[in-house]
Amino acid sequence: MNLNLRRKTAAAAAGVLAAPFAFAMLPAGTAYAHGYVSSPESRQAQCAAGTVDCGEIQWEPQSVEGPKGLTSCSGGNTRFADLDDDGKGWEVTPVGTTVDFTWTLTAQHRTSTWEYFIGGERVAVVDDGGAQPPASVTHTVDLSGYSGPQKLLAVWNIADTPNAFYACVDLDVGAAAANEEAPAAEAPAADEQAPPVEEAAAGHEHHAAPAPAEPAGPPKRLCRSS
């Protein structure tokens, strides 16, 4: 009995000693923080909403995590390869030349920078200096140097891990501004309006003839003539 007790005690002690080493050997890739661009709807947001038929990403749009410095929509995750398919029928959001991008963070992690790219060129960067963000973060990005359909890559760089989170957003830059500036339909000019009803000779007025009186009886429904 004492021998079994000693064995159990020794096993428990070994487990306690091994725990820090096991934790240290966990993959450096896990940031324990998650987030994605929710507005305008990123590709993973469209998957989660059922707008586009996707695989596993539809259940976890916040999990597109990979090493820093990537340029793919999937963050190098083969499970989320749907996000890299440009021909999948993603909805394109019409925007102006200044766009507000909102991140939804299901877990807030200390942040180094937020970056935005179009065609491999960085169009904006926001330096958080290691600060912990709130659950919702919005950045205003100037896209005046672009027009028409564009695929924008948004990147959330975590401060204390080698990883980042990735989200691609399909935009039609300038389309919203063009819609706002389109002139409203003008009323027809006076000379294009329907001609007035021909009037009778001067000095005479036209009056609608009174309707003939109906014989007494039960009330009737009034109907418009066809």
**Domains of the chain, each with CATH number or no CATH:** 34-180 (2.70.50.50)
What would the mean pLDDT of 88-97 be, rounded to a whole number?
98
**143 Cβ neighbours under 8 A, 6+ residues apart:** 95, 97, 98, 99, 118, 123, 150, 152, 171, 173
- The token pair at 169 is 């957003």
- The token pair at 160 is 């204390």
- C-alpha–C-alpha distance, residues 171 and 118, integer Å: 11
pTM: 0.68
Q: Does residue 68 carry a pLDDT above 80?
A: yes
Which one-letter amino acid corresponds to residue 15? G
* Segment among 3-7, 97-101, 139-143, 145-149 with least mean pLDDT: 3-7
Over the stretch 178-221, which tens digit does the pLDDT of each residue have? 766 555 555 555 555 555 545 444 444 444 444 444 444 444 44
